[in-house]
Structure 1
Amino acid sequence: MSDRVLQRLARMNKTAAFLGAAALVFLGLLLPGIVGATVLILISVGLVWVLTKTWPVTPAPARVPRVLILTLLVVVAAYKAS
């Protein structure tokens, strides 16, 4: 199943995928409290899944910003939940 999902993600328009993810993050930031935190955590879980699947083929310099952005997203979600 994960191979099909990854193949489908690879065929997606990269601009549309970025804008969709940015819209979801923006929505999570705007929604109050636990609801916004839940949206941000769900996005984080999806990003962790993609990151673990693509880690072996990701160039080393590209890994650092991805992990930093993911960490920032989780920190903001934790802040919103508290």
Structure 2
Amino acid sequence: GARSWDDALSKARFEFRWEDQFALSVDPQTAREFHDETLPAHGAKAAHFCSMCGPQFCSMRITQDVRELAAAET
């Protein structure tokens, strides 16, 4: 139901799977258009950040980096 859809979209966001985010959105075409307005380069579909925080301040990317560091220390 709605919970599994929301969880799938959240996971796609956290993993920077842009194409899955578009596909899972309520309006995929509009989601893609908004993305392309702010990050128009083709490589932006593989970017590990969005236009809201940018690459230096992306909380999702920072969280992933911290998890990787913690895993490497154990």
Shorter-chain TM range is: 0.3 to 0.5
TM-score, normalising length: structure 2: 0.36
The alignment's TM-score, normalised by the length of structure 1, stands at 0.33
Which is helix-richer, 1 or 2?
1
